[in-house]
Amino acid sequence: MSTQSFADLGVSSAVSHALKERGFTAPFAIQTKVIGDVLAGKDVLAKSPTGSGKTLAFMVPLIDLISAEDARPSALILAPTRELATQIVDESYPIAHARALKVTAVYGGVGLEKQARTAAKSHIVVATPGRLEDLLRRRAFSL
């Protein structure tokens, strides 16, 4: 971790507070490198080892940039497996909740209709490619 705070990177006070409540008092190196650029609207390609904080490196600025007023998908994250999709949602849900944002995972092997209804009302959708294709083909929600 660095001595810099999430607020120093431009993260809102609501999100910074939610991170602190989860025990994240300072950003990891990958987060320090990318959060400011993502908040500034820049495209970012980053590589970092497992367990280094990549999920929050992209989710924190994404959560800060989305408006809670429009209850429909504003961001789509593709995850190769249902386990990773679930992990992304589990890690980011408490932080998204601090801004009244809904985040949901959609993946195969569970009821399509319920996932479609939930995804249509969520701000952030984390999807596996196959389930995303199913939902788009059925026009369950639009991007």
- Please write the tens of the pLDDT for every residue from 2-46: 468 999 999 999 999 999 999 999 999 999 999 999 999 999 999
- Residue 22's pLDDT is 94
Give the pairing type, strands 75-78 and 103-106.
unpaired
Inter-residue contact 80 to 129 (CB < 8 Å):
yes
What are the structural domains of the chain?
Answer: 1-65 (no CATH), 68-143 (3.40.50.300)
- Reduce the secondary structure of the chain to three states and give it as a string: CCCCCCHHHCCCHHHHHHHHHCCCCCCCHHHHHHHHHHHCCCCCCCCCCCCCCHHHHHHHHHHHHCCCCCCCCCEEEECCCHHHHHHHHHHHHHHHHCCCCCEEEECCCCCHHHHHHHHHCCCEEEECHHHHHHHHHCCCCCC
- Residue 1's pLDDT is 47
Task: Read off the pLDDT band of 141 (50, 70, 90).
Answer: confident
CA 26 to CA 115: how far, in whole Å? 35
CA 91 to CA 97: how far, in whole Å? 11
- Residue 123's pLDDT is 96
Inter-residue contact 98 to 12 (CB < 8 Å):
no
Q: Which two tokens stand for residue 29?
A: 């190196």
The 10 Å Cβ neighbour count of residue 109 is 8
Predicted model pTM: 0.90
- Residue 143's pLDDT is 72
- Residue 69's pLDDT is 93
- Please write the tens of the pLDDT for every residue from 76-119: 999 999 999 999 999 999 999 999 999 999 999 999 999 999 99
- Residue 75's pLDDT is 94
- Residue 3's pLDDT is 63
pLDDT of 131 higher than 70: yes
